[in-house]
Amino acid sequence: MFSCMKPYGDQNYSALKRACLRKKVLFEDPSFPATDDSLYYKGTPGPAVRWQRPKDICEDPRLFVDGISSHDLHQGQVGNCWFVAACSSLASRESLWQKVIPDWKEQEWDPEKPDAYAGIFHFHFWRFGEWIDVVIDDRLPTVNNQLIYCHSNSRNEFWCALVEKAYAKLAGCYQALDGGNTADALVDFTGGVSEPIDLTEGDFANDEGKRNQLFERVLKVHSRGGLISASIKAVTAADMEARLACGLVKGHAYAITDVRKVRLGHGLLAFFKSEKLDMIRLRNPWGEREWNGPWSDTSEEWQKVSKSEREKMGVTVQDDGEFWMTFEDLCRYFTDIIKCRLINTSYLSVHKTWEEARLHGAWTQHEDPWQNRSGGCINHKDTFFQNPQYIFDVKKPEDEVLICIQQRPKQSTRRDGKGENLAIGFDIYKVEENRQYRMHRLQHRAASSIYINSRSVFLRTDQPEGRYVIIPTTFEPGHTGQFLLRVFTDVPSNCRQRGESLRLPKGQGLARDSWWGGGNAGLLLLSRAGTAGRGFKALTLRQHAPQTYAPGLADGPPRSSVSSQVWNHRVLKDEFLGQVRLKADSDDLQALHTLHLQDRSSRQPSDLPGTIAVHILSSASLTAV
């Protein structure tokens, strides 16, 4: 991971720190200065903000006080509960926060070596397919000597405030963090894939079977190091941060900090009875205001659980924003869950591993329709197939396929304001197994994602063996932007972009779809469309059943023909045996043609010994053949 770390803005942390130590000055970041431009992209600030270094805010500043915990964080004046919730989840995973906060021991203040401190920090985030190293100085915005944004329980602990500043620098300013998406932060912290789940649409509260299945998936993501959050959708502006009678808050992101099956009962009876309850622990980024229903901190339901089990779960009775609830109640009161899956691509693992294909692409505009790559969704049938297209293979009888498309984040600027996401999505089509060219007509749609103005769109689907085409699009045509496509399968999918279309010569148009394939008894067949002017690939055919598929052109000229050459496959040199030519007449409905072999002379073809029986099957669906 760290060998391919890319410095953000060409700022090298080690070189900058050495220069500051040599000059005996504290670092001041010129690319994210201590000015209003770093606070707001529009509007004017409220109270007078002073940028202060930790040493001016408190005595004995530290990166961590008594380690790192999800209880450390409290949301500040900017509406970024989504980011704070993601940080709370991150804090519960040592292996993950040590990636985001690298060299944390070296970055920590050392009271015994004050001259070794240079006022510079760096943090790692995963952005658009690569890990980047973001450098900041330690000047933080305050009012009345108090941090106004994310802060810790301990006045002298600064890890969360510094991580937030680095993330704000990536976004363009602090105000750009107001009203974001927890899924984006979880992905930026891990390089994983976010999977949103609509609990209302899935009716998980009333369907016990679906709910149990979902809990097992959530438990698996948590047990394998993934990060999870939950929220209650706010339908109107008045709903935002409205507190319900049960104590939960609408339009607010909660971090899920634990998932487990809790054993009910006391003593040995609990083990023999083996009654367990599906439970979730959540945390409010405000650090207060908790759930007050069943299994809340002071609830009598806890009498059903032994003291040792409660200690194992870390149950506390205090208003610290963290609480337990059953998974059934979570599905009843919350509307959305976001799972950030850490996709295991290691070859040395006891758990399921995945093969990843990662490709960068772009929606671009061009006057030439054959070169335009911004055709919009399937609603725009005239331009839909102009979008980028990617072929991949499912090589098992059936395989689970994970597909994620992520658009490049747009940085906020004072002139343009907050960068808005495009509405994006993708369709997956099953095509003939030897397709090489772009699609130009509709085939069987195997799956489709939602279309949403989110940074990432994810789809999990089970598909049978075969070849597929992914068409990522913006919802409306003419929109441009860059994207990252990630495809995960059990075995390598050989995912690649298709940029070439099969065209007819001299302005005759485009062959909408073509295919070829075959099988023969130890022969080598070379097929060519007579007037298409393009040779098809040679196929070595090893089957004993003399069955040959000839190429067809959906939009070929009326008098085009198809010829097939028959060769004897030998070790040193193949021997030509003859060829046949079949007119591709759309009015000829004869299914069986028996043709004499001829030589290759273009002047006076003469018959050779032998005939070929050609069976013709016509279908609008190429995968039906």
Catalytic residues: 81, 252, 284
Run of H or E residues at 307: helix 307-313
- Residues β-bridged to residue 614: 593
Closest Cα partner for 325 from 274, 266, 276, 282? 282
**Residue 381, CA distances (Å) to 384, 441, 468 in order:** 5, 9, 19
Closest Cα partner for 362 from 501, 512, 499, 195? 499
Which tokens go with 561? 């023909």
- Residues β-bridged to residue 481: 363
Largest CA-CA distance found in the chain, in angstroms, rounded: 101
Q: What is the DSSP secondary-structure string of 313-338?
A: HT---S-SSEEEEEHHHHHHH--EEE
Closest Cα partner for 361 from 505, 472, 232, 258? 472
Q: Give the Cα separation of 377 and 472 in Å (integer).
A: 8
- Residues β-bridged to residue 567: 524, 576
Give residue 333's Cα distance to chain centre: 27
Burial class from Cβ neighbours inside 10 Å (0-12, 13-18, 19+) for residue 153 reads middle
Which tokens go with 43? 């509007």
Give, rounded to a whole angstrom, the gap between the first and last alpha carbons of the chain. 46
CB 85 within 8 A of CB 255: yes
Q: Give the Cα separation of 118 and 15 in Å (integer).
A: 12
CB 299 within 8 A of CB 246: no
**Residue 456, CA distances (Å) to 166, 186, 226, 403 in order:** 21, 12, 17, 10
Backbone phi, psi, residue 595, to 5°: -125, 140
**Residue 546, CA distances (Å) to 228, 518, 596, 612, 613 in order:** 56, 9, 16, 9, 9
